[in-house]
C-alpha cells in the first residue's frame, strides 16, 4: 500500500506534467509576481501611485502591449526555452526571437550572430570553441580577454548541443572558464543553464502558448552573400517562410529589422507580413547629425517612411521622451511619428538595472530626472497616455503586463478570443 508521502509525491508529479502544461498553453491569465508591487511602492505619492496601487493583487491577463524582449532575460538566459516560458507566464502577448543563421543556413534565436561566447557555454567545449571566428584570448599586459564565436561558425547540430547562459563576460579573465563570469550584480545565474532554441522551435513554443510573434532579422556580422550564394534577401525570405510553413496567421507576426531595406523587401514580397513590419530605428548611431529633438535631421523623414508603406516604427525609450520643467514629456521625435500616422513600439524596459544613477543609455534623455526604479512607471505612463505607443519591449514582461492591465491598454488574450 502506498504511503501518504507517496500519495503526495504522485499528486505533485501529476501537477507538473502534461495536464498542467496544457492548462498553461490555453490560459489567458498572467502571473506578475511581486516586482510590479515593489515598483509601485517606490513611486512618490500621487494619482499615478494611487491608480497603480489599486491594481495590486487583482487578476491579470495576457496583453499584447507587453512584449517579451528576448523572453524574460532580467533573470533567465535570453532566447532560451526557459526565458520564453517565463515571458509567457508573465503575460507577454508578443514574444521575440532574434534571428541569426548557422553555417548550414538554419535559423536560430540569438541576439547577435556572434554572441555565443557570452550567451552560451561554447568556450567550455574545446571541440566547438576551436571553431570560433576568434577563439578565446586571455587578458594580458593590460589587454582585455576576448572571444568571438558566431552561429555561422557552427552547424545546426553543433548549435543545439550548447547550453544558454546569462549574457556576461569577464574581460579580466585568464581562462575560458573564468571568461564565462562577469554577471551584472542585478541579474542572476539561478536559472541557468537554459535550452537554446531554433527559430522553428520558437514558433512552435510561442504558438503553443497562444501568443504572437516578433522575430528580428539580425544584421549579419559576416559578409553577405554568405559563402557567395546566401543573400540578404534569401535570409529575409527564409524567416517569413518559416511562419508560412507553420500556418501562422500573418496578423500574429511583427517582423522587425534595423535594416530599412529588409522592411521594404517584406512590404514588397510579403505584403500581409509587411504591413506589420517593425522598423527598428537606430539612426542615432548610423545617421550623422541625427537628433530626436530636431525633426529636420530625420532622414528619411517620418512622412517619407509612411509614404513607403512603413506602418510601425520602433525607437529606443529615450528617443520618445525628453525632460521639461522636471517632468517627462513626449519628444519632437514622438510627435513627428504620430503626425505621420506611424504606430510606435519601443525598447527596452527593465534592461538598465537599478535607475538610482539615472538609468544609463536607455534613459539618457531624462537621466537628470531619473533616480528611482519607480521612474520606469512614470515613463510608461507618458509613453502610454501621451505618446500612445502600441507596445513596449521589456526584459521582465510582468511589469508591462501589470501596467497594461491596470491602465486598460492594448488587447488582452481573452478579448482576442
Domain ranges of the chain: 28-97+198-416, 114-196
Cα distances (angstroms) measured from residue 220 to each of 36, 77, 95, 103: 36, 22, 22, 12
pLDDT tens profile 81-101: 999 999 999 999 999 999 999
- CA 308: distance to chain centroid? 26
What confidence score (pLDDT) does residue 415 get? 58
What confidence score (pLDDT) does residue 411 get? 76
Is residue 231 predicted with pLDDT exceeding 50?
Answer: yes
How sure is the predictor about 10, in pLDDT bands with cuts at 50, 70 and 90?
very low
All three cell numbers of 77: 538566459
Residues 6+ apart with CB under 8 A from 125: 161, 162
Is residue 105 predicted with pLDDT exceeding 80?
Answer: yes
- 5 vs 72, more confident: 72
What confidence score (pLDDT) does residue 12 get? 40
| Mean of all residue pLDDT scores within the chain | 93
Count CA within 13 A, CB hemisphere, residue 42.
17
What confidence score (pLDDT) does residue 5 get? 43
Give the pLDDT mean for 403-409.
98
All three cell numbers of 38: 515593489
How sure is the predictor about 11, in pLDDT bands with cuts at 50, 70 and 90?
very low
Is residue 71 predicted with pLDDT exceeding 70?
Answer: yes
Is residue 24 predicted with pLDDT exceeding 70?
Answer: no
What's the chain's Rg over C-alpha atoms? 22
Give the pLDDT mean for 285-299.
97
pLDDT tens profile 195-214: 999 999 999 999 999 999 99
Q: Over pLDDT 90: what percentage of the chain?
A: 91
pLDDT tens profile 40-51: 999 999 999 999
How sure is the predictor about 6, in pLDDT bands with cuts at 50, 70 and 90?
very low
- Of 104, 85, 293, the closest CA to residue 209 belongs to 85
The CATH H-level superfamily of 28-97+198-416 is Phosphatidylinositol (PI) phosphodiesterase (3.20.20.190)
Q: Over pLDDT 70: what percentage of the chain?
A: 92
How sure is the predictor about 414, in pLDDT bands with cuts at 50, 70 and 90?
low
Helices marked H in 246-314: 260-269, 271-274, 283-286, 302-307
Give the C-alpha separation, 408 to 51, whole Å. 12
Is residue 17 predicted with pLDDT exceeding 50?
Answer: no
Give the pLDDT mean for 54-65.
98
Give the orientation angle of helix 232-245 with respect to helix 199-208, to 10 degrees: 30
- 417 vs 244, more confident: 244
Amino acid at each position: 500500500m502506498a504511503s501518504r508521502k507517496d500519495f503526495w509525491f504522485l499528486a505533485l508529479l501529476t501537477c507538473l506534467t502534461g495536464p498542467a502544461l496544457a492548462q498553461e498553453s490555453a490560459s489567458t491569465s498572467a502571473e506578475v509576481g511581486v516586482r510590479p508591487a515593489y515598483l509601485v511602492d517606490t513611486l512618490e505619492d500621487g494619482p499615478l501611485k494611487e491608480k497603480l496601487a489599486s491594481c495590486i493583487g487583482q487578476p491579470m491577463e495576457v496583453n499584447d502591449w507587453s512584449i517579451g524582449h528576448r523572453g524574460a532575460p532580467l533573470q533567465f538566459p535570453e532566447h532560451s526555452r526557459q526565458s520564453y516560458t517565463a515571458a509567457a507566464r508573465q503575460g507577454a502577448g508578443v514574444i521575440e526571437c532574434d534571428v541569426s543563421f548557422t553555417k548550414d543556413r538554419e535559423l536560430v534565436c540569438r541576439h547577435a550572430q556572434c554572441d555565443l561566447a557570452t550567451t552560451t557555454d561554447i568556450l567550455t567545449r574545446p571541440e566547438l570553441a576551436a571553431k570560433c571566428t576568434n577563439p578565446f584570448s586571455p587578458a594580458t599586459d593590460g589587454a582585455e580577454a576576448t572571444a568571438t564565436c558566431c552561429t555561422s561558425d557552427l552547424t545546426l547540430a553543433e548549435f543545439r548541443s550548447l547550453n544558454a547562459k546569462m549574457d556576461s563576460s569577464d574581460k579580466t579573465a585568464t581562462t575560458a572558464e573564468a571568461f564565462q563570469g562577469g554577471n551584472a550584480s542585478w541579474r542572476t545565474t539561478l536559472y541557468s543553464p537554459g535550452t537554446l532554441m531554433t527559430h522553428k522551435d520558437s514558433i512552435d513554443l510561442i504558438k503553443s502558448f497562444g501568443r504572437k510573434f516578433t522575430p528580428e532579422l539580425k544584421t549579419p556580422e559576416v559578409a553577405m552573400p554568405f559563402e557567395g550564394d546566401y543573400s540578404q534577401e534569401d535570409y529575409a525570405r527564409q524567416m517569413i517562410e518559416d511562419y508560412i510553413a507553420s500556418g501562422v496567421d500573418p496578423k500574429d507576426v511583427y517582423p522587425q529589422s534595423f535594416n530599412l531595406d529588409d522592411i521594404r523587401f517584406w512590404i514588397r514580397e510579403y505584403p500581409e507580413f509587411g504591413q506589420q513590419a517593425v522598423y527598428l530605428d537606430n539612426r542615432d548611431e548610423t545617421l550623422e547629425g541625427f537628433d530626436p529633438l530636431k525633426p529636420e535631421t530625420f532622414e528619411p523623414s517620418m512622412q517619407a517612411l509612411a509614404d513607403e508603406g512603413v506602418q510601425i516604427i520602433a525607437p529606443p525609450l529615450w528617443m520618445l521622451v525628453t525632460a521639461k520643467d522636471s517632468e517627462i514629456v513626449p519628444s519632437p521625435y514622438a510627435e513627428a511619428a504620430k503626425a505621420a500616422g506611424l504606430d510606435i513600439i519601443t525598447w527596452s524596459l527593465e534592461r538598465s538595472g537599478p535607475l538610482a544613477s539615472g538609468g544609463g543609455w536607455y534613459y539618457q534623455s531624462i537621466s537628470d530626472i531619473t533616480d528611482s526604479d519607480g521612474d520606469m512607471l512614470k515613463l510608461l505612463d507618458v509613453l502610454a497616455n501621451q505618446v500612445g505607443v502600441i507596445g513596449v519591449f521589456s526584459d521582465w514582461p510582468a511589469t508591462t503586463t501589470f501596467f497594461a492591465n491596470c491602465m486598460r491598454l492594448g488587447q488582452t488574450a481573452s478579448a482576442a478570443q
